[in-house]
Amino acid sequence: MSFSFELIRKDPHSGARAGLMRTPHGEVPTPVFMPVGTQATVKAVSPKELEELGATLILANAYHLYLRPGAEVIAKLGGLHRFMAWEGPILTDSGGFQVFSLEALRRVDDEGVLFRSHLDGSEHFFTPEKAIELQEKLGADIIMCFDECADPLDYEYNLRALERTHKWAERCQAAHTRGDQALFGIVQGGVFPELRAKSVEFLTSLDFPGYAIGGLSVGEPKAVTRRIAEFTASLLPEDRPRYLMGVGAPEDLFDYVARGIDMFDCVLPTRLGRTGTALTKRGRLNLRNARFADDPAPIEEGCQCYACRHFSRAYLRHLVKAKEILGIRLLTLHNLHFVLELMRRIRQSILDGTFAAFKEEFLSSYEAREDYRMRRPGGRRG
Ligand SMILES: [Zn+2]
């Protein structure tokens, strides 16, 4: 069975869309939030728990898995699904973003990228062909083209990088042999509308089954991210899923669903969980705060997650303060539930024709924070 995407309903008042992706490992209702499982594990939760949380698509990273344990090892053990015991759909990131991070990059030419492993400093050479071979060995349902990630604000660099990204997209497509994997193209072009338009024009001529918008949310002002994402999404074909890479804070989900984005990934829920912070309808709750020391309430009243059904803020605070593993696990479960449930409600509101009202209701009480940037240039993700 191969990949398909069906557009089910468009919101009449915004760019929001509800759809359904079909993959060899199951269906993915869109818009969708992908929990990030960089190292073939969504940190602190089991695949069984992910299933119970209703995750339908998870993201793993080809760069990290190439370095450790190695794609051959995973292929020999039956591929990524079998290796990590997650039978649902998986998307792998090609590694472009990681190898172009400042600390890794050694040299780039038309052939590929020489980079340094963040694990042991050893040098490796990635080409588009190698990125595809690697992702075919891993065996995810959706794989990504290998692209050059430029500083979004540097016009000259983006102009050059775009040329290369386009040639590499052609080479990725030519190298791709597995019919059971969907290869998505990645639109680049920084913060420059004319470059984004050029990129969309070229990549859509290659007719990919889906398109990602890359190179955003890497430090540029949020208003710029919104403008460029909206502009780019508006040029992409309606009958293909659109993936905004590295974005997915609760307020962003509304912002970008409204701008026609279908797929999101973000380390925020899992990373916050590990630092003792919970996502709630009012914003973030830092459970280290002394005021929760004897608070008998759950993280969020009415939340149906395992943590909220069984444990008080006081107990969770105690676990976090005592650095107990269970505290991290429970907060991660809650945060993932929060974001996945939010996305389910967003999708339902699009189907019901109430997206605008739901958006307004949620954002009127949610206190967004600006410090969630998880994909800095030169930083690593995951
Ligand atoms: Zn909860």
Output b/e per residue, 315-324; b: 16+ Cβ within 10 A. bbbbbbeeee
What are the C-alpha distances in Å from 234 to residues 15, 92, 221, 238, 259? 8, 25, 20, 9, 8
Q: How far apart are CA 340 and CA 53, in angstroms?
A: 7
Residue 324: pLDDT over 90 = yes
* Backbone conformation region of residue 369, classed left if phi is above 0, alpha if psi is from -120 to 50, else beta: beta
**CB 146, CB 186: distance < 8 Å:** no
Q: How far apart are CA 65 and CA 302, in angstroms?
A: 38
Residue 369: pLDDT over 80 = no
Residue 374 CA, ligand 1 centroid: distance in Å: 23
Q: How far apart are CA 92 and CA 25, in angstroms?
A: 14
**Span 360-378, average pLDDT:** 69
Residue 191 CA, ligand 1 centroid: distance in Å: 37
Residue 247 CA, ligand 1 centroid: distance in Å: 22
Tell which wins on pLDDT, 371 or 204: 204
Task: Show the CA angle centred on residue 151, arms to residues 149 and 153, nearest 5°.
Answer: 135
Residue 259 CA, ligand 1 centroid: distance in Å: 28
Residue 307 CA, ligand 1 centroid: distance in Å: 5
For residue 377, what pLDDT is reported?
39
Token pair for 375: 């994909």
Residue 29 CA, ligand 1 centroid: distance in Å: 22
For residue 101, what pLDDT is reported?
86
For residue 370, what pLDDT is reported?
58
Treating both helix axes as pointing N-terminal to C-terminal, what angle do 250-257 and 222-235 enclose, rounded to 10 degrees?
Answer: 40
Strand partners, 283: 280
Residue 372: pLDDT over 80 = no
* Phi and psi, residue 243, nearest 5°: -120, 120
For residue 267, what pLDDT is reported?
96
Q: pLDDT tens across 136-169, in order?
A: 999 999 999 999 999 999 999 999 999 999 999 9
As to burial, measured by CB atoms within 10 angstroms (0-12 exposed, 13-18 middle, 19+ buried), residue 117 is middle
Q: How confident is the model at residue 381 (pLDDT cuts 50, 70, 90)?
A: very low
> Annotated catalytic, 265?
yes
Residue 379: pLDDT over 90 = no
> Annotated catalytic, 93?
yes
Amino acid letter, 376: R
Q: Which residue bears the tokens 């919101």?
A: 11
Peptide bond into 241 cis (omega under 30): no
Which residues fall within 8 angstroms of residue 69, CB to CB, at 6 or more apart?
none
For residue 103, what pLDDT is reported?
82
Token pair for 262: 């279908």
Residue 337: pLDDT over 60 = yes
DSSP type of residue 36: B
Residue 311 CA, ligand 1 centroid: distance in Å: 9
Residue 317 CA, ligand 1 centroid: distance in Å: 14
For residue 104, what pLDDT is reported?
86
Q: How far apart are CA 96 and CA 127, in angstroms?
A: 10
Residue 306 CA, ligand 1 centroid: distance in Å: 7
Residue 373: pLDDT over 60 = no
Token pair for 260: 């026609």
Question: How many other C-beta atoms are found inside a 10 Å radius of the C-beta of residue 370?
Answer: 8
Average pLDDT, the chain: 95
Neighbours of ion ligand 1 (CB under 5 A): 303, 305, 307-308, 334
For residue 309, what pLDDT is reported?
98
Residue 334 CA, ligand 1 centroid: distance in Å: 4
Residue 255: pLDDT over 70 = yes
Residue 272 CA, ligand 1 centroid: distance in Å: 14
Q: Of residues 93, 252, 255, 262, which has the active-site annotation? A: 93
Instruction: Please give the model's pTM, rounded to 2 decimal places.
Output: 0.96
Q: Do the bridges between strand 182-187 and strand 211-213 make them parallel or antiparallel, or are there none, so unpaired?
A: parallel
For residue 376, what pLDDT is reported?
40
For residue 211, what pLDDT is reported?
98
- Going by C-alpha positions, the residue among 63, 116, 55, 118 that lies closest to residue 90 is 55
CB-based contacts of 76-79 (< 8 A; 24+ apart in sequence): 79/137, 79/138, 79/139
**Span 206-229, average pLDDT:** 95
Output b/e per residue, 70-94; b: 16+ Cβ within 10 A. ebeebbeeebbbebbebebbbbbbb
Q: pLDDT tens across 307-319, in order?
A: 999 999 999 999 9
Q: Of residues 147, 151, 262, 265, which has the active-site annotation? A: 265
